[in-house]
Structure 1
Amino acid sequence: MRLSSTLRGSAFITLLLSYLAVFLLPLALGSILYTKTSNIMVENANRANLAMLEQLRQVMDIKLKDVEQISQQIAFNSRLQWLMSNADTAESSDAYKFVEFVSEHMSRYQNASDYIRDYYVYLGANDTVLLPSSKTTADTLFHRLYRPIGSDFNTWRSGLIDHPHYQDYIPVTYETPNSKLDTITFVQTLPLGELSALRGALVFLLDMNKVRSMLTPIEFAYQSSVFILDRENRLLVGNKDDALLWNQHQLASLKSGVPYEYEDQGVDKMLLHTVSERNGWNYVLVMPKDVYLEKVHTLKNWMMTLLLICLAGGGAAIVFWLHRNYTPLRDVVRVLQKEKPGRAALPANEYEFIRETIRMTIHEERELRHILSRQTPVIQASFLSRFVRGHVDVSRMTDESLRFMDIRLISESFAVILIDIADFSGFSNDQSERQWALVRFIISNVGNDLIRERAWGYSVELDQNRVALLINFYKERCAEASLVLDGIADGLMQVIEQRFKTYITIAIGDMHEGMERVGESYFEALSALDYKMYRDHSAIIRYREIAAADRHYYYPIETEMQLINFTKSGDVENVDKLIGNLFHAHFTQRRITPEMGRSLFNNMVSTLWKIINPMDPFYSEVFGEQFEPLKDLSACSTVDEMKVKIREWFLALCHYLNVSRTRNSRQLSERIAQYIEQHYGDEMLSLTIIAEQFELTPQYLSALFKKQMGLNLTDYVTRVRIDEAKKLMKDKKLTFMQIANKVGYASDIGFIRVFKKYEGTTPGKYRESL
């Protein structure tokens, strides 16, 4: 009886614990669910408020980006660069250039952004201010238009140019003729990037009311406060009292996007902020905690009510089921005790240990498979890269190893296609590694889709600008392998060019039998890829088409001597014809290999140097000081570009030799001088016009005239005009504008500037001395 009572007590406790476990399990799950749900709702509230702040930040970043882009367009304007460089030397006659810059360049940005209230360029050399519609002085701007409150004139002006500003945003309140104007003032030092020799500044006045108009709906809808601080924690927009909390609670050290809870005058509040990566501005949202977590509090009340109901109902259910189920169990125990009286205790539960061991084993196996599955793409890519190049010992490849790398091969027939990425600027101007990876990813995916439509295979990324396609043919389609390869290449070219605006060159190797010969197809495609120098950037090159290319070129010494003699004699027609025949014979009638092609080009450059070296005049007179023909040829990507270069060099040398050997060079120079004296009043007269008149190139004409006359042709034209102007100045009735028109200048301003440069004085002072 004592043993039976022990068993009954144990069974009772076990059942009680089981029912309690069953009862407590939903409560525990409910608690967990409540915690998770509460956390999710808090996170949702955080995400919603953060998204609202991020939207505000993105809008502001876009508006500020527009301002910065406009500032760069103005700062890099060539006319502004000239005005800054000549501001300290400009005369009153140059004033129209400032007005012209205002009307043609400054005014075009007036409606570029609704956030820009006004903008101007300040030139420190002459204290000039260029507004979108007028030119004024710094003193007028400060005292009559925009006067910063709390700053005097000198402090304001020195703040613009005494130290450099790079896209600085400063909160400033201006006193205008009608009212006060709150702004965020953008200041950019000119010239852009200069740290010491500061010549001026570009200033934009951003309308603070536009920014406030975005914040007001948010504050009204959520009973909150929103404010913006710059990177130096200066308040740009918002409530000053709330902004003070930023420093009082040392909130600037908080992580962006993480809410912060604090108490303000007995009211619990939540603060959330985000930082702009573009300019370091802080966007801060302050909201009462009750409003911030309103839905969370509602959920908590409901959960507490349900918990009390569950406790009452669950307790009653446990008492009922424990009494009902324990009675039969007690009877069974009594019967078992009578049948097996020697059993003194219940057996230990070894199954629990076994179950736990099995669970841990399954968990460890799952973790191992997960780790291997994450490494499979990397292992696969590494293997395929070596396999395509022929660097894999195929004798050690097994079906199990291929399955491990998730690779399936359907036959022993393989071919390789290489894709060389030439230009994706039409798809994206970003040349970062991330963008290169995106382009390779696109080509690989498109290539995989096209392969699987006709055969089997994989795409492999080889280099930054190169992707390989490994094609494994079905046995029944090996006879039409060429059609399959052409279909894949044509489809890939069409999709990548038309949809993604990317220019590629595709090289196709032949099909080979056996895994050990995959490398042969790869090197065939690699050889075909070299022939892109004969094609445009966008081309499909098949190895079977170029396999029969000649391995030599024809450029005997007789041909070279003909080219030398024709060039030295200035026979332009025969030189052009001979070069054209050489290129036609090697690149049109037949195709030589790229290596032989470059060797032919180098030999022709060597011929050019043989002509140049014994020449008495220096070759720099013909080709310039930086003449490097081999470097220029290596920069050419196609044969046609190389042909144009070589033809230009030889024909330019012919023209120069023709002009140099002309016996009447002196008479020609005198005729040119006479032509200038007869047409100096033509404002279109220039080196190019004179060269066309005498059927010479401008370079040759300039060199010939300077050699014969000892003076640059342009300087000679200017000297003739100035001398004639000095004669006309004796007539006091003629204005400077009339004199300028008579001697070939479109305006008196250009005439005055040139006269002062050559005579050292202005026309007005020169006329007074007559």
Structure 2
Amino acid sequence: MNSSMSITGRETVLLKWLSNTEKELISRRSLFVKLLFSYLTILLIPVVVGSLLYQRVENKMIGNAARSNFALLDQIRLVVDNRMQEVERLTLQIAMNSRLQVLLSSDSEESTESRAAFYDFIRDLDRSRMSSSFIDDFYVYLNNSQTIISPIRKAKASLFFEHVQNSPDPGYPALMKQTLSEYHRHLYLHSIPLGSGTTQKKVLTYVQSLPLGQKTSFKGSLVIQIDEQQVKDLARQINWASEGHLYVLNPQGELIMTTSDSTGDLERLIGKLNDQTGYHSEMADGEMTMLSYTTSESNGLRYVSAVPRSVVMAGVDEIKTWAVMLLAVCLIAGTIACYSMAYRNYSPIRDMVEAIRKGRRSTGLRVSNEIDFIKSTLLDSMQEENDLRDTLSRQEPAIRANFLSRLFRGQVDPSAVTGESIDFMGVRFLAEAFGVILIDIENGSRFAKEGSEPEWILVQFVVSNICKELMPGDGYTVELDLQRLAVLMSVSKPDPADPGGLSENGRLRSFAERLKATLDHYQIQTTMAFGGVHCGMEQTGRAYAEALAALDYRITMGQGTIIGYEEIGGMEQRIYHYPLETETQMINMAKSGDFPGIDKLLDQIYAINFVNSRITPEVGKCLFFDMTGTLLKLQNVFSGSGKKLTGGDPVKSVLGCTTAEEMFQKTREWYESFCSAVNEERPDHGEKLFQRIKDYVDANCTDSNFGLASMAEELGLTQQYLSVFFKKYGDQNLKDYIMAVRLRAAKRMLASSEFTITQVAKAIGYANDIGFIRVFKKNEGITPGRYREIVAENGGKQG
């Protein structure tokens, strides 16, 4: 019982192992199977080739064995033929005996001559008896007397066959009588047993009719008996005799002798042999037998050897057995090796796939095997890398601009910048000296008509491309602001062999002049400034600071100029002209609304500070801080009266300008606005004109020909000015005022039932009641008819 349980447990473990193995094989899918089948294919190639080669070798060995067997059989034939020649010699010797000729020709045995011939012939036969050991016995049969003459006796044929040569075969006498009564030439009869008991033996009987060559008139026969055992002894000398058998057939195809005890199927197969010589295999008595046969040319006997194929092919079969065993061992070992190699080579791929799966999000793609999975992963990774490179290449200008911008501001450590990072950003310089040119775009109306951000970006793009085209050497354009660009140029040292050549700063100015001329051609107004040329990347910040300082002098030198850092070294004026008396005078003029006087003072201040002398940008900014403060003081005075100046913040407006000329222009505009506001506060012509317009509308709005054009013509004003003026003074559109006056008149008429709606419409200036009803309902929310009903319900009181 324990043994049964143990077997059941082992079967369960085996089934689990097979299940796990199957799952593992399924999980490996086709790649492992492909590897395994690939190795098995490689293994089977030499196996198949070796099998084909072995097949040819086996066929050769079988042929060699058959030929060897045939050679042995032929050797037997030669030996037997040699012994059979003794029979033929004896036949010739006896046939030529003169005494035999007498006996054959004699008609009577009783004559003296016949008797003498008998005795002499018997003595001759007795002498010939000892000539060959191969011949067991022989005798001569005389037809005329039916007498048998042997070496030792003379007897009648019947007596001889029944008593002298008695045979266990009862048909032997009749067979012999029948045979001797017919003509025969070299006739071999099948082996016949003679004698009895221990003296019994089988003999082969050879019969030759006498005289030789006389087929129709033969007179006797020579019978030679050959001991069958001697032929068998010759066959036993062959190494396969103990297993195989020898068959001898006469020329008539009759079996005359065999070493086998039973013929069976072989006798039937032997009878079908038609060729003189040959060998082939046949199935006989349930066993494959190899037949080899040959025919004697001298006596016509056919020799057939029948040897079991297992005996002939014993060596071949042994080799074949070993070959099959070795092949099986090779296939088993090769299969194990193939599986091991496939598993070993598959393991890294499996680990790689697992690593990829762990580090990669699922894409949902179905792949046929691990190689396709790795391939798709590589393609995806390469695509992602290409996309990343494309993204980086698209971001390269921004990265380069950010790097150069930080480099200008001194936020980059030059020692930390490597060649790889420089190459990655696409920055390359042939010279070690650098210069910085700042470009402020003042006006790009040709490309930025509305001043929107996309239009300014287009202007930047145009300026940047022009810079790249005109730049004599290596350089890069950086967008610092919406309207400001910086150009970083590498400047080579002057050629000592060319004394008239440009200096380093001269090259910067030459490039700036050519660039400005080109931009002016495209109606892009710019102001440029450049600093000095310095060696080393760490000095780039210094060159940028100098260019920035030079650009500040745009406030004094004006827009559209090219300012070099070396030009601003002599501007040492640090005091601006704006005395307290002048400020007080401007405040008083502003309070009185005297703008022409303020305009004259502003021109004087600008001429003294920026034309007759050059103050520094810092001092210029202080001047405008002071003048903006005067504006703030006036704004406070004006705000105290309950009014507000329109136009925004004067501080942001003035200080947002880039040049002194722009700042003065903005300051002039603010003073003009202030004076206008002061003058508008006074009740003068404007109030009278406003009242005149209202009176004209009240008097003429019911006229069907009334309109803005006729009113402007009557008052001597333009339509546009009339509308703007009325809106400014009345806080209401002129059109709305006219409609309100007409609606008031219509309500008065609707309160009375004597006017129809059409009459009311025409009375207030409408051509028909449709337009009147639409306007009335739009403004009052009800139709004129409904309004009349409501008034009537209220007792004639207007709502």
Q: TM-score, normalised by structure 2?
A: 0.37
- The structure with more radius of gyration: 2
Q: TM-score, normalised by structure 1?
A: 0.38
